[in-house]
Amino acid sequence: MAIQFRDSSGIDVEGIGVRNAQWWQTLYIRSSDIDVSWTNLMGTLINNDGIDIDGVQGMRVSHNFVMSGDDGFGWHALDARTNGEPVTSDVHAVDTTFWNVTGGNPVRFGSSMETSAFRQISITDSYVLRAKEVAFKLDVQDWAVLSDVTVDGYHVESQPVGKQAIVMQVLKGQYSNDNGYRDARGRITGITIRDFTDVTADRVVLSGWDADHGVSDVLFDGVVLGGQSLTRAQVETNAFVSGVVVTPSS
């Protein structure tokens, strides 16, 4: 890992280039009042996430180039037994260029979400040179409530055929808590995706865990997949998804 801040505040990271970092390239954990700008991350190895966060409040991420061997933004909450359950809130990213090299997703919230809440998050003006897996992924495998997330201006230029554009899931999976601390599911609610384009025409998938741990109130506004406006019929849902609205591109 090249850059890590833990239990810190008043952080300003600007104009730093990272090459050949091991594991996650940067991590901000249990910290607040963070400004990360004009960084140039060049990771190619397995698990080389770009900018990872866990339990942060008041973070601004702007004008960054994120080349990663795994997730570009890996925003999660790991190991509540050790780290506690700090809320992640008020996190805003603007003008990010992503490039997945070895694997991963440009933006992923999850999989481990061992906290009560992720909220008040925006990702604006993102450019994905290549997405290796899902272009935009939310997978809550623990008990966090993920809410009030806005994605505005997200453009994917390259992605392998057959990979999904957007996935939102509440589930028990490979990365759910397994140390006995807590076995529970969360929710995803209040998500807006606006001005989203992807070269792939593959489907959008939303799925909840049960009636109390579902996906709700999701707006797709001006989403274009494979050159065609997204329709409600292209959004695959299960019984635990509600309040999905699709507004076509004008």
| pLDDT at residue 46, rounded to an integer | 87
E-only strand ranges, 101-240: 107-113, 117-130, 136-140, 145-156, 166-170, 187-198, 204-207, 215-225, 228-229, 235-237
User: Which parts of the chain sit beneath pLDDT 70?
Assistant: 250
| pLDDT at residue 131, rounded to an integer | 97
| pLDDT at residue 165, rounded to an integer | 97
149 strand-pairing partners: 121, 191
Which CATH architecture group holds 3-247? 3 Solenoid (2.160)
* Beta-carbon count within 10 A of 5 CB: 17
| pLDDT at residue 13, rounded to an integer | 99
Cα–Cα distance, 65 to 133 (Å, whole number): 19
Q: 3-class DSSP state for residue 98?
A: strand
| pLDDT at residue 249, rounded to an integer | 77
Mode of pairing for the β-strands spanning 51-68 and 26-37? parallel
Residue holding tokens 């990702």? 123
Q: What are phi and psi of 232, to 5 degrees?
A: -60, -30
112 strand-pairing partners: none
Which residues have C-beta within 8 Å of that of residue 210, sequence separation ≥ 6? Answer: 185, 240
